[in-house]
Amino acid sequence: MDCADRRQHFRTILSGERCIHPGSVFDPISARIAEDLGFELGMLAGSTASLTVLGAPDLIVLTLTELAEQAYRICRASRLPLLVDADHGFGNALNVRRTVEELEAAGVAGLTIEDTLLPARFAEGGKSSLISIDEGVGKMRAALDGRQDPGLVVIGRTGAIAITGLDDALSRIKAYAAAGVDAIFLVGLQTREQLKTIASEIDLPLILGNVPAEMSDLAFLSANGVRVCLQGHLPIMAAVRAIHETLKALRGGTAPREIGGVASDELMKAVTRDASYKRWTREFLGHQ
Give the pLDDT mean for 143-152. Answer: 98
What is the pTM for the complete model shown? 0.96
> Which domains does the chain possess?
3-233 (3.20.20.60), 239-285 (no CATH)
pLDDT of residue 124: 79
Whether residue 275 has pLDDT greater than 80: yes
Q: What angle do CA 50, 119, 149 make, to 5 degrees?
A: 70
Region 196-225: mean pLDDT is 95
What is d(CA 104, CA 112) in angstroms, rounded to the nearest whole number?
12
What are 67-103's pLDDT values in tens digits? Answer: 999 999 999 999 999 999 999 999 999 999 999 999 9
Q: What is the pLDDT of residues 253-264, one digit of tens each?
A: 999 999 999 999
Distances (CA, A) of 39 to 31, 34, 51, 122, 184: 9, 5, 22, 41, 21
Q: What is the mean pLDDT of the chain?
A: 97
Tens digit of each residue's pLDDT (9 = 90 or more) over 23-80:
999 999 999 999 999 999 999 999 999 999 999 999 999 999 999 999 999 999 999 9
The residue count for the chain:
288
Residue 288 has pLDDT above 90, yes or no: no
